Amino acid sequence: MPNPHAARPADTAPPDLSTVWLRTFLDVARHGSFTVAARELGWTQSAVSRQIAALEAALGGAPLFDRLPRGVRPTAHGRALLPHATDVMSRLTSLGRELTALRDATGGLLRVGAFATADAGLVPRAIARFRAARPGVTLVREEGLTPALLARVADGGLDLAVVSTTGGALPADAYELHHLLDEPLYVALPSGHPLAALPEVRFPQLAAEEWISGSSRIEGTLLDAAVRHGLRPRVAHVVAEWTAKQGYVAAGLGVTLIPALAAESVRQDIALVPLRDEGAPARAVYAATPRGHSAPPAVAPFLRALRAACPAGRAFPQPVRTAPAAPMSPTTPTTSTGRSPMSTAPKTHADEPDIDEDLVRRLVGARFPAWAGLPVRLVGSAGTSNVMYRLGTDMVVRLPRRAGDAESARREHEWLRRLSGALPVPVPAPLAMGEPGEGYPYPWSVFRWLEGETPVAGRPLAEPALFAEDMAAFLTALRGFDTAGAPASYRGDPLASRDADTRAVIAGLRGVVDTDAVTAVWDAALRAAPWQGPGVWVHGDLQPGNVLVARGRLSAVIDFECMGTADPAVDLIAAWYLMDGEARRSFRAALGPATDDAMWARGRGWALTIAVNELSYYRETNLWMADTARHVIGELTSGDGELGDGEVR
């Protein structure tokens, strides 16, 4: 005989119910009618009755509804079931939505980690892209060092982590590594340091420097490569945080190495110069995801956002043009001729004459004795046509690098006399023209010094929309200047005349750029209607090195070597060399309807042919120009690259 005191699991176990029964019950209760519920469900009344009967049986057999002359109403058992059935179905509906969102990566939780310098630029750009496409995903992020982040990925605490290494491969037993980019390294110097004027430096030139490092140990740090070059860097200050390192560098207490991702936010009194040496370290950046178990579906689109946020080519910041030069020290490295690298202009072409401070002093003293005693110092610049030396406080001497540049310099000197003062922003005011001499073969010129900073391609300006409007106002005024007697620009030929050469250069860059995407931009430019009007005045080379900014606004336009008459589309290259997508829209809107779709497409073509030629020619000899060209090519081939006031068709 059963024990009446024994536990009765059947009474305490949850009932085995069908969601079909519960949904049917809720519909009948809501409408108070089997007939109406059947009609809404698309069933027969007898089918509804069978579902309710099955539910009643599963719950112990008590009726859930009283039958009335007109409809039904819940019994006490039905009223007890009603809130629970409502809650169960609501929770199941929410579960379905969450599972669908997870499947489609439009919802759920994504946990992301990153090391500090990636968190300063790369990761925020990726998050912005990701959230714009998938606003329903809750994103939780944390910051840490690579070893700790990898441990968090391995133990399931993170779904994805952005990590880095400069010391070879990372162990990848518990996670998968997705390569994002290889960062070049820069040497951070006080802006007046003798090496700050060079386009690149090598380890032997840094032998006399004191270093600021995150560790007193050399091994395992970015300085490890210096040992492989036979140097033993002297770590004078151990400073962990990059912002603090900047203060030490700016104060002249030493130099430090910095990877490219950290170069997005530097003080204006610091110069970054690329480190170029065989074996010089590059930091590899990866996204790590868990191995061996399913990752949230949002991981894949976030990884795509990270790849899209990686720069196609990052230009290094130039030294601020207004920074004072530091005095020469006895420990300043020298060249094989015994000259300081500060005094000798680096060459960008094989056929350039030697140019140094002594030559400039002799030229100025012989031609303009009144200026003979003024201080002379090299201006840090990645320019490829002229070498510039600051003369005193308010003048600059410009010396052409090659014969063709000399002819452009004469033309520039003549016409800037007429243009100076007639444009809405300052342009160089010619002061004097010097003749060849002292072993230098070309005419040279002296201009009024213009204050401002050189923008960096890819680095946002403080006022991008206002800068775009400033540039549009400059071009509108320049185009309206009288062309009587004006020379044709170096870029005054039709775009189509450059087709064969441009395609050959693109082919030579296979493996360096996406040649299919680049060719598509070029083809679209050639399909645009050619310019039919007379040539207008153009600057011809509106690139970062040829404009100055102050507080995010256009403060001056310089270096008019390519000036002359041409298709106005030539100067639209500024849209891709100097602006991002939003600024491009402002720029085109400010230029007005005369800048139609065909002109905009030709402008893209001019930007592309210039950029691919620069990348091909300067890839190994002028890193700033090459990185700028890579950035421009990335802008031109991105979805936003063809936008102005509207999409170019």
Q: Which of 13-17, 308-312, 482-486 has the lowest mean pLDDT?
A: 308-312
Provide the pLDDT for residue 647.
36
Q: What is the pTM of this model?
A: 0.52
Per-residue pLDDT tens over the stretch 419-432:
877 789 999 888 88
Q: Please state the φ and ψ torsions of residue 41, each to the nearest 5 degrees.
A: -85, -15
Count of CA atoms in the C-beta half-sphere (13 A) of 163: 27
Q: What is the DSSP secondary structure assignment for residue 484, as one 8-state letter?
A: T
440 forms beta bridges with: 437
109-181+284-309, what's its fold?
A: D-Maltodextrin-Binding Protein; domain 2 (3.40.190)
% of the chain at pLDDT higher than 90: 38
- Choosing among 3.40.1160.10, 1.10.10.10, 3.40.630.30, 2.40.50.140, the CATH entry for 14-103 is 1.10.10.10
Start and end residues for every CATH 3.30.200.20 domain found in the chain: 357-448
Per-residue pLDDT tens over the stretch 28-62:
999 999 999 999 889 999 999 999 999 999 999 99
Q: How confident is the model at residue 281 (pLDDT cuts 50, 70, 90)?
A: low
Check whether domain 464-642 has CATH 3.40.50.150, yes or no: no
Q: What is the DSSP secondary structure assignment for residue 237, as one 8-state letter?
A: E
Per-residue pLDDT tens over the stretch 498-523:
999 999 999 999 999 999 999 999 99
Start and end residues for every CATH 1.10.10.10 domain found in the chain: 14-103
SS (H, E, C) 255-300: EEEEEHHHHHCCCCCEEEEEECCCCCCCEEEEEEEECCCCCCCCHH
Element holding 114 (H helix, E strand):
strand 109-114
Q: What is the C-alpha R_g of the chain?
A: 34
357-448, what's its fold?
A: Phosphorylase Kinase; domain 1 (3.30.200)
Provide the pLDDT for residue 108.
74
Provide the pLDDT for residue 44.
92
Rounded CA-CA distance 599/532 in Å is 11
Q: Which of 194-208, 464-478, 599-613, 635-649 has the lowest mean pLDDT?
A: 635-649
Per-residue pLDDT tens over the stretch 375-401:
988 887 656 788 888 898 889 999 988
- Choosing among 3.40.1710.10, 3.40.190.10, 3.30.70.960, 3.65.10.10, the CATH entry for 187-281 is 3.40.190.10
Start and end residues for every CATH 3.40.190.10 domain found in the chain: 109-181+284-309, 187-281
Per-residue tokens: 36: 């109406």
